[in-house]
Chain A
Amino acid sequence: MPDVTRLLRDWSAGRAEARDELVGLVYAPLRAIAERHLQKERNAHTLQPTALVNELYLRLVDQRSVEWNDRAHFFAVAAQVMRRILVDHARRRNSEKRGGGVVPLTIGAALDVAASENFDVIALDAALENLAVIFPQQARLVELRFYGGLTIDETAAALGVSAATVSREWTMARAWLRREMNSR
């Protein structure tokens, strides 16, 4: 799918809309891959987000014409997509009443686990929007860590900063989001 390759290029070159188009293109395949890993392929019992995203990347991006930094961009897109999947799921779940019985193991079930924990997916999304206004890089960092599943080191590589910086800013972003969500 050369489109993704071209859009990554455009985004790298500074065309911000390209990122939104990318998110749209990547949404369905990422969701499909995550579900497939849960349902069909039993030989991968521990999900490795980086492996999944790598797989997606290999599938969607024309390897011959990309540069190393496109990969970091792609991880950023995947993290955004995951954020959107999570919010969409939570919205749907709020709007429709689910039937009883056995819950099939879909990504939705997994997201229910996430949503039933100690925070509200939609509130987190809104808080993150607010954070992005003040500290856009912190918001990106949260996206990569929480939605993208990247480790501190991987996040540092993707953002092109040191791990120490990621660690410090992550601490502050968490405090900021926690306060924002508590005040709701």
Chain B
Amino acid sequence: MDDGSRVAAARDEFAMSADPFWDQVRELFHASAELAPSERAALLDHADARVRAEVESLLAAHDDTEPFLDRSVWDYIDRAEGDRLAGATIGPYRVVRQLGGGGMGTVFLAIRDGEFSQRVAIKLVRGGGGEAFVQRFRQERQILAALEHPNIARLIDGGRTPDGLPFLAMEFVDGVPIDEYCRAHALSIAQRLRLFLQLCDAVQYAHGNLVIHRDIKPANVLVSEEGTPKLLDFGIAKLVSSDTRADATVTRLMTPEYASPEQLLGEHVSTATDVYSLGVLLYELVTGAKPFAANRAPRDEAKPPRGEIGSIVAMAMEVNPSRRYGSVEQLADDVRRHLGGHPIAARRPTFRYRASKFARRNKLGVAAVAAIIAVIAIAFIATLHQKRIAERRFDQVRSLARSVVFEIHDAIATLPGSTPARELLVRRALVYLDNLAAEAEHNTPLQMELGGAYVKIGDVQGLPYTPNLGDTHGALTSYHKALAIAESVYADEPENRDALLLLADAHDRIGFVEQRTLRWVEALRAHERARVLREKITPRTPKDDLALARTWVAIGDDVYVGAKQIPESMHRVTPRQAYEAALHTLDRVPRTGPHRSELLMETGRAHQHLGGMFTGGEYHDMAAALAHHDAATRALEERASLDPTNAVARRNFADQLVMRATAQNAIRDGAGALEGTTRALAVMKELAAADPKNVEAQHDLAFVYEQMGFANLQLKRWADSERATREAIAIRERLVAADSGNREDIRGLAVLYGVLANVGKERGDAAAYARYREKADELLASSRR
């Protein structure tokens, strides 16, 4: 998707205003606010006079540079505290003013009483741990105070304030963070690299004195006006690191931009940790962007470093510490070689780097970013595993992979926009599980986890009617892998309930994918196997009944939609019997309690499909069709209202509105159908915009437009009908081009060209009629191939 349309999609995330005037104002404001005042006229000239006047007055306010709402109420509260401390005495120092609030605590500028020349930065350490902190400080101060380097801010003193709060006094550096400095002075890449080399020199010196920084980031590198960089807070992270409150760990995980994988995991920290953080800093200095920042506005998007610098960054940021540069000196040497035009030593980019590119390309929510961190964590543990450090590691990899696949994946699955994150998650976890499974062939629980993971990745790849990536072939492959595993476990342990469930799940899903490939015999065979397995399960839980009902509905679909393909010998039930078996099965599920939402979904689904069946030729009974569609609409509407944030539930409800519209179209109730599709279109558009990678959302959109085209055809609104139909055609053509395994949409295209032919006929345009008719026939033929 190009940037322009992405911006448009982002704007659509906010609901329209009740008054179209204000929507126009908003749109024009957004379009012109980013432009220089001189460039705006061209845009504004085209606008309606009232809209223009409103936007101009807003732009005038926008251009006002007086600070306004630039800090939150909480910042004011914070500052009140800083003002209170001004003039206070901390040890031998007097506070002058607050400098800022850092991650570890508030920083003040202070002077030593009586010696006005000595300015220090006092850091009040939040959560430093009182007496324990002072103990640690005593142990470390000798070493830290001995660090004397022109690019390291010295530690001067430390202790506790009169009210018992730990503090540190450090050399005050009058400068700005290195990233700001580079930007403000528009430094060239070579100048940035030279600045970076001075830093490396400082870190290398400290490492020579057995001190690890642990928290290298731009905020800790201040550059003076003369251009001298100074590293702050050397070794300070260790002093405050005994702070083991749970929330501190969480905070770390959520803001991991500079922390190395081993730090995120609370593993052993070494000089390699600083090499990693220097790598992140280098990335940022040369690109102007953080490798792991999410939610960046499209226009801020920067390319990751390429070429030699890219390789240097990648090697510094290796997940496995042993594969990074062996020392800061080696890193600096490579940067020097690059500057001097000599060949560098760094190897090719690796996963961590690729993951960073992924994070850069995808604007993901907080949850997804956290999930990516978890993936990186797995990558790290897994590399340790490969070295067979200990049996314990094996269990760690496994439990982490399991939590990624089953917990994190499920937690983000219903969030709009999470599809790419889900794929990355599951795919990475699968690699590690594969490795483990090779070593533990006879470990049944592990084999089961592996099978479950294959099902999950198949879902993300292409389970129809859920958010997926549209990779039909990939999904089938994954499900068949799961099936093979489940079969082998089930053969050994016929009593294993989980194996039986996994087997049924795999069969069911293969059936669903085969439905999309229009191979109804395969679909029915798979669903029948799943049904037989599910009926064997004892004792039965409500969950089992819900799953069985789902399978029954699928069987109904297979025999109804695929009737022409399915040989007589396979016709065990009629579609109606299958759907009613589903409703009958659902009678066993308690109406209230934890399964309410799923019960509504399955009930809605069964009625929906019955409604569809009664609409069609053989079972034609429109009164029954509409009654079932109404029942389905009620159930799915209630379900969507139970959890307004559940994108899948909202999608299913909107989809039902379209299904009902198909029935309304069939009884020539164009007005009813138009109302339903209009309502559905708003939801589907929103969901598609929120998750542009989700192919299913595109299928849905095409379906809404298709039915909208029909409705308008009934209402004799030829232009509206043609417009909606063309929208549907554009989407389906894209879908077919992207996934050759998808025949359903080829057939769908044929239907749409049929609508265009009808519009042509009604308008008396014989040429259009003939042209579109031919196109429709051609497509229909190719869908059967």
Contact = CB atoms under 8 A, between A and B. Distances in A.
A42 B78 contact: no
B124 interface: yes
Interface stretch (A20-28, A93-101, A141-149): A141-149
Size bin of chain A's contact surface: 35 or more
A171 B66 CA distance: 14
B164 interface: yes
Given A134-B19, A135-B22, A119 B68 contact: yes
Interface in B26-67: 26, 29-30, 33, 57-62, 64, 66-67
Contacts of A172: 26, 29-30, 33, 58, 62
Interface of A is mostly: helix
B106 interface: yes
A60 interface: no
B616 interface: no
B595 to A, nearest CB: 16
Nearest to A108: B80
B438 interface: no
B60 A169 contact: no
Interface string A152-184: 111011001111110111011011111100100
B68 A49 contact: no
Given A49-B72, A154-B366, A113 B58 contact: no
Contacts of A38: 77, 80-81
Given A134-B19, A179-B57, A165 B62 contact: no
A110 B33 contact: no
B626 to A, nearest CB: 27
Contacts of A157: 365-367
A3 B126 CA distance: 33
Interface in B411-438: 411, 416-417
Contacts of A110: 76-81
A107 B102 CA distance: 22
B78 A46 contact: yes
Contacts of B74: 47, 49, 82, 149
B641 interface: yes
Contacts of B164: 42
Contact of B77 (A47, A117, A165): A47
B17 interface: yes
A183 to B, nearest CB: 9
A45 interface: yes
A176 B61 contact: yes
B11 interface: yes
Nearest to B68: A178
A148 B294 CA distance: 21
A174 B66 CA distance: 12
A42 B367 CA distance: 32
A113 B61 contact: no
B645 A113 contact: no
B618 interface: no
B165 A148 contact: no
A163 B10 CA distance: 9
Contacts of B80: 38, 105, 109-110, 112-113
A137 to B, nearest CB: 5
A147 B14 contact: no
Interface stretch (B139-147, B295-303, B318-326, B756-764): B295-303
Contacts of A114: 73, 76-77
Interface string A21-62: 000000000000010001000111111010100100000000
Interface of A: 12-14, 34, 38, 42-47, 49, 51, 54, 67-69, 82, 86, 105, 107, 109-114, 117-119, 134-135, 137-138, 142, 145-150, 152-154, 156-157, 160-165, 167-169, 171-172, 174-179, 182
Given A42-B164, A135-B17, 13 more contacts: A45-B81, A46-B126, A47-B74, A82-B73, A105-B84, A109-B80, A111-B73, A137-B15, A145-B69, A172-B30, A175-B29, A177-B69, A178-B64
